[in-house]
A and B are shown apart, each in its own frame.
Chain A
Amino acid sequence: MSDLNSAVAAAALGSEERFRALLRSVVEVARAIFAAKASSILLLDEASNELVFEAVVGEGEDDLLGRRFPAGTGVAGWVLATRTPLVIEDVARDPRFAKDVAEGTGYVPQGLMAVPLLHDESALGVLEVLDRQSRFTLEEMELLGLFATQAAIALDLLRRARHAEAALAGDDELSAVARLATALDGLDEEARPGAQQLLDALATVLKRS
């Protein structure tokens, strides 16, 4: 039943794109607030145990989106595994730990803040802010925590939307209901009452059978 609900919701909202836009807006604001060179959100793909760049702004923007790397490497991997934020400067001195960002892009950050995106008891991904202008303060840590909360909610919505779409794709009945929901959503005010009557009638028939 939850699949049906979320499938209908997904179809009605056209959701994935919107949630991606939300993620992107989180990293845009984070980058602006911290006066950073780049910011990104990585989602854990549990099936392959990889971290995937879902939103990137600034340096590396064109190359990194969609790129994946094993979740057991790099600073992001550590933050995910320990569910603990980490702030490191002079990262470039040890390229192994910037390689999740640097690989293939030629961009090796000097400093980075990475914070886990926590939802209930699980870690969904990691938010990174690279090369800030300022010396790190505890105030920044608090701010980063606030962004992380927002990003975690957006990431959870994105995951749900994808789950719903997957459920939809593999189920003809669900697809039919979702198409109906989308059609209903697209109706103008005049046509709506009639459609509502039809749906009510359909519900009555279905209950009898």
Chain B
Amino acid sequence: MSELPAWSLPHDAAKDIALGTDWPAEVTREWAWGDATGKGVRVCILDSGVDASHPKVGHVESAVAVSKDEDGAAFVAEDVEGDVCGHGTACAGIVRSLAPDAEIHSVRVLGPGFTGGGNILLFGLRYAIEQGFEVINMSLSTTKKDYAAVLHELADSAYFQRTVLVASAHNMPVESYPWRFASVISVGSHEEDDPMALYYNPNPPVEFFARGVNVEVAWMGGDVLSASGNSFATPHVSAICALVRSKHPELTPFQLKSVLHLTAANVGGNR
């Protein structure tokens, strides 16, 4: 019976879905990620690639790039070029700074010359979900409505298989995806300097705010820049998710989002 999906709950089956977590009466930051380092959690940076040699990144566990063959079909191959922009390295460096023992995996969805487009993005996201990464950082979005339905499906499948998709909200009032979907954790910026300061937004679609202004980030060529934008707020939340998942691996994305809510500075945070 246990092989079947749990479409319903017979009266004698409640004991089978007892929660693994000893959920405390009060969820504190200490309970959520105290002493956690991100160990055992794989964070995927779906971006421009990651410069593994950057001192702020340290080590990249795996790196692939999505390209198109002569017939226009997308495929995944080992990434030998690293970062083509600096953006992915910046995101990876932020994750490393907060979750030092998390594994960083890079899936590059932009080629040299920033070629790529929606199909490569979709293919890369599907690939990342298939790998079962615990956290996928997506400091990217697409404005193409044609891709919205497929992205929505992918975001839901990630959610149901316990892959947390953390996605940047757009900095401008435009429709873009996948951050608008309820199955992802969407992130905008606040202006504070505390990298662990997280705010819950009671007026979605942007659900959380994290540090995204004047952030010291790793960039290409071993460099460090000060950068701003939701792109850089997002990996802060990815890192916090990695910390929580390393301490509480049994949490589902829904439960994880609840933990983020309960530990947000404007909800119950700083306890």
A binding-site residues for B, Cβ under 8 Å: 70-73, 77-78, 80-91, 93-94, 96-97, 111, 115-116, 118, 121-123, 135-138, 141, 145, 148
Which of chain B's residues have a CB closer than 8 A to the CB of A70? 113
> CA–CA, A80 to B115, complex, Å?
11
Which of chain A's residues have a CB closer than 8 A to the CB of B230? 84
Which of chain B's residues have a CB closer than 8 A to the CB of A122? 143
B213 touches A138 (CB 8 A): yes
Residue B227 interfacial (CB < 8 Å): yes
A89 touches B225 (CB 8 A): yes
The DSSP consensus for interface residues of chain A is mixed
Q: Within the complex, which residue of A73, A94, A118 is in contact with B172, where a contact is CB–CB below 8 Å?
A: A118
Which of chain A's residues have a CB closer than 8 A to the CB of B49? none
Nearest CB in chain B: distance from A23 CB, A: 19
> CA–CA, A91 to B219, complex, Å?
10
* CB<8 Å pairs between A and B, sample of 17: A78-B87, A81-B110, A83-B141, A83-B174, A84-B229, A86-B229, A86-B231, A87-B227, A88-B226, A93-B224, A94-B219, A96-B221, A97-B220, A116-B172, A121-B143, A136-B213, A141-B189
Which of chain A's residues have a CB closer than 8 A to the CB of B145? 121
Q: Output the nearest chain B residue to A82 by Cβ-Cβ distance.
A: B140
B220 touches A94 (CB 8 A): yes
> CA–CA, A50 to B231, complex, Å?
25
Residue picked from A84, A115, A145, most chain B C-beta under 10 Å: A84
Which of chain B's residues have a CB closer than 8 A to the CB of A148? 172
B115 touches A87 (CB 8 A): no
Which of chain B's residues have a CB closer than 8 A to the CB of A73? 113-114
Which of chain B's residues have a CB closer than 8 A to the CB of A87? 227-229
- B182-219 vs A, CB cutoff 8 Å, 1 = contact: the mask equals 00000001110000000000000000000001100001
Which of chain B's residues have a CB closer than 8 A to the CB of A78? 48, 85, 87, 114
Which of chain A's residues have a CB closer than 8 A to the CB of B78? none
List B134-156 residues whose CB lies under 8 Å from chain A. Answer: 139-145
Nearest CB in chain A: distance from B243 CB, A: 26
A89 touches B226 (CB 8 A): yes
Residue B170 interfacial (CB < 8 Å): yes
B171 touches A145 (CB 8 A): yes
Nearest CB in chain A: distance from B141 CB, A: 7
A84 touches B228 (CB 8 A): no
> CA–CA, A131 to B168, complex, Å?
26
> CA–CA, A69 to B173, complex, Å?
28
> CA–CA, A135 to B214, complex, Å?
8
Q: Within the complex, which residue of A71, A80, A88, A118 is in contact with B174, where a contact is CB–CB below 8 Å?
A: A118
